[in-house]
Amino acid sequence: GENVEQHPSTLSVQEGDSAVIKCTYSDSASNYFPWYKQELGKRPQLIIDIRSNVGEKKDQRIAVTLNKTAKHFSLHITETQPEDSAVYFCAAVPEGQFYFGTGTSLTVIP
C-alpha cells in the first residue's frame, strides 16, 4: 500500500516568515494530494489540494508543489500569521483511498 512520510514533525517560525512542510509518497498510482489543517480538538479542514496533472497550485498565502518524478509534494505558507498555528496533514490518494502523513505541528510566534 501507499506510504506517506511527512517532515518536519514540528516547526516554529516568526510571524511574517514562510513555512514549508514536505511529504513523500511511495505509490505511483497516487493522483490526488490534499492538505488538511487541524486545530486542537477540531476536525481536519481542507486548505488546498493538487492533482497529479498539475505541478503547482496557489491560493492566496498558501501554495502546494508536486514533483511526480521524485514522488514528493510540499506545502508553502507565506507571510505566516498566529492563526496559522495548527497541525497540518498531507495525504496521498491512490484510487480514492486516503493515506495521511503523521502531521506537522506549526507554531507561529508573534
For residue 92, state whether it binds other proteins (rule: CB under 8 A): no
Determine if 40 is a binding residue for other proteins (CB under 8 A): no
Using CB under 8 A, pick the residue from 25, 92, 101, 106 that binds other proteins: 101
Q: Does 93 help bind other proteins (rule: CB under 8 A)?
A: yes
- 50 belongs to the binding site for other proteins (CB under 8 A): no
Answer yes or no whether residue 97 interacts with other proteins by CB under 8 A. Answer: yes
- For residue 85, CA distances in Å to 40, 48, 95 come to 10, 16, 31
Q: For CA atoms 85, 15, 12, 67, give the dihedral sign.
A: positive
Q: Tell whether residue 27 is a contact of other proteins (CB under 8 A).
A: no
The yes or no reply on residue 6 touching other proteins (CB under 8 A) is yes
Question: How far is Cα of residue 42 from the mean position of the Cα atoms in its chain?
Answer: 17
C-alpha to C-alpha distances, 102 to 9, 40, 106, nearest whole angstrom: 8, 15, 13
Instruction: Give me the amino acid identity at 106.
Output: L
Residues that bind other proteins (CB under 8 A): 4, 6, 32, 34, 36, 42-46, 49, 89, 91, 93, 96-103
